Structure 1
Amino acid sequence: MNTFIQAFVAYLEKEKKYASHTVVAYQNDVLFFERFLNEADASDELVEVTYPIIRTWIVHLVDQGISNLSINRKIASLKAFYKFLIKCKVIQTSPLVAHKALKTPKKIQVPFSEKEMQSVQDFEVIESDISAVRDRLIIEMLYTTGMRKSELIMLKNSDFDAEQKTIKVLGKRNKERILPVLPSTIYWIGLYRNHLKNCGVVIEADKQLILSNSLNKLSQSFVYRLINSYFSNVSEKVKKSPHVLRHSFATHLLDQGADLNSVKELLGHSSLAATQIYTHSSLSELKNVYKKAHPRNIK
């Protein structure tokens, strides 16, 4: 692997502290571009590339049928790579300084309805079954806090404060936030911990709060499959993922009158722009309020 790419990967891991799957994605995108340069017999090295060469690569990707969304992600990886080279004083300016992202269709994700959420919560849980209790706890945690799948997996026992009824979440770029925890979630945490103790597991502060069937750290794919499986029983929506639960958390709060800034803080967003996408999902509720309240609509 190119020395500069190796240094870039080490920078993402050690200084930026990105998740392993994120680092791999960045690395693969840069390697993909480097392979294009080699196969195209371009005389330019990675550090000497000009924007016209990158434009040729973009056209090549489009011709291959790769979506604009995927191309934008690859370009974002390249931007990060060249920004790193500037930081290291290998180059002075990025060849992508004037690049504008390709247009992509805006997709509005459809959250689970409150009825669908209630249907899942109405599922009977065999409280003597540690796996069933763990599954319910995962669903409760994702929906009642709005935390990301990766944040859930990284939770430690020390992050949960039963007395204060809060949980500490480590978000993107190692930004911490404290979230309130509902009594129902506290109940499932307590029940789950009792099961773990009965299995001989010592509840240590620096160990994961929620474990897999083999009492190891949860995997991303496990949490995704769990949510998809449970919600396939109650919803016909195309996408049934942990992120849709996060989306549902935000949408339902907004539907019930929560202000955008509060939802922003709960979600751990750095700007309101990221939170505003959830307001689209609240339009149906706004329409109902409008129809009921506007004088011209009162018959």
Structure 2
Amino acid sequence: MKVINEIVNDYLHYLTVERGLSANTVASYHNDLEQFVQYLKKQGFKSFSEVKRSDITAYLRLETSAKKANSTIIRSVTSLRRFYSYLVHENSVIDDPMALIDTPKQEKHLPEVLSRTEVDTLLKAPNVSSALGVRDRAILELMYATGLRVSEVINLRLFDLHLPVGLIKTVGKGQKERIVPIGDTAAYWVNEYLEHGRRSLLKEKRTDFLFLNFHGNKLTRQGIWKNLKIQVQKAGITKNITPHTLRHSFATHILENGADLRIVQELLGHSDISTTQIYTHLSKRRLSEVYNKTHPRA
């Protein structure tokens, strides 16, 4: 099996050096391939060229019977497909056993969305008599007003703010820059944070990152998650809320109020409108809930 392990290591090196993939992505491929190699060891295979389509399907059946998540199986198929494509390109195998293997359908789960009442309660939860409370209120207001991803929020800098004209600049996935409008209420709280929160958090340090932690350093993703959990608990909301929930709620609520899907796509920074279309399903679900609650013969 030494030859098999060496081939896997060569592939991982190729992903890192030639493809320039991130350490996390390479680690994910490594994990998937390691499990596949362990399976091959148990089956007595000596090389990847011995593996047939039936062997792949038997392995995937085993993965499914182990009650692994659908998303895990899909990722495993994708990893094996790209790995065998590499082996064919390197002439390590002649026939690609993945060629006729279908990728399982992705299960579609509609994301959790807050009602407008829940949003109001959550936004009022932080104690704005403290610098950290003003910061948390500003973050919540900003995320709900703009639909920014948490990664976009933590990377906002002072020069990205154009509050007098109601706009902010952000850099999203693929380093794509976009301009997003920010409402008066969110702009007010960001200004409050700049005046009465950020200055005290900054202490003697110098940085142009907008949102800071207690030590005056850039706030992290984990910091926003932790603080959000505290505010959700204070608000008495029992739903499983993440920072992305505010993004989902933003998109759903403006669609319910008549916004065009293309506009929502631009605001969210989606490159493909099919990604945005999930929010139309959320809006329809909301319409059904309202109908069932209010119509006398529903």
Pick the TM interval, shorter chain. 0.7 to 0.9
Aligned counterparts of 2:184 and 2:150: Cα–Cα separation in 1: 21
Aligned counterparts of 1:145 and 1:52: Cα–Cα separation in 2: 49
2:153 counterpart residue number: 152
% identity of equivalent residues: 31
1:121 counterpart residue number: 123
Query: How big is each residue's C-alpha offset from its partner over 1:121-173, in whole Å with a ceiling of 9 and x where there is no partner?
Result: 2336324x222122122212221111222222333333333344322222222
1:229 counterpart residue number: 230
Contact 1:193 1:203 in 2 (8 A): no
1:258 counterpart residue number: 259
1:136 counterpart residue number: 137
1:8 counterpart residue number: 15
What SS does structure 1 have at the residue aligned with 2:277? helix
Pairing of 1:12-161 with structure 2 (within 5 A): 14=20, 21-22=24-25, 24-45=27-48, 51-81=53-83, 85=86, 89-90=89-90, 95-103=97-105, 105-123=107-125, 125-127=127-129, 129-161=130-162
Residue 244, structure 1, aligned to residue 245, structure 2: yes
Letter in 2 for 1:4: Y
Contact 2:127 2:133 in 1 (8 A): yes
For structure 2, list consecutive stretches of 5 or more residues without a partner in the other structure: 1-7
TM-score by length of 2: 0.78
Deviates more, 1:69-78 or 1:274-283: 69-78
In the alignment of these two chains, the number of paired residues is 280
Residue 202, structure 1, aligned to residue 216, structure 2: no
RMSD: 3.3
Change beyond 3 A, Cα 1:135–1:265 = same
Deviation of 1:275 after TM superposition, in Å, equals 1.1
Letter in 2 for 1:175: K
Change beyond 3 A, Cα 1:40–1:158 = farther
TM-score by length of 1: 0.78
Aligned counterparts of 2:95 and 2:194: Cα–Cα separation in 1: 54
Aligned counterparts of 2:180 and 2:96: Cα–Cα separation in 1: 39
Query: How big is each residue's C-alpha offset from its partner over 1:189-248, in whole Å with a ceiling of 9 and x where there is no partner?
Result: 3333343334223243xxx322233333433333223223322333222x2111221111
Deviation of 1:112 after TM superposition, in Å, equals 0.3
For structure 1, list consecutive stretches of 5 or more residues without a partner in the other structure: 292-296
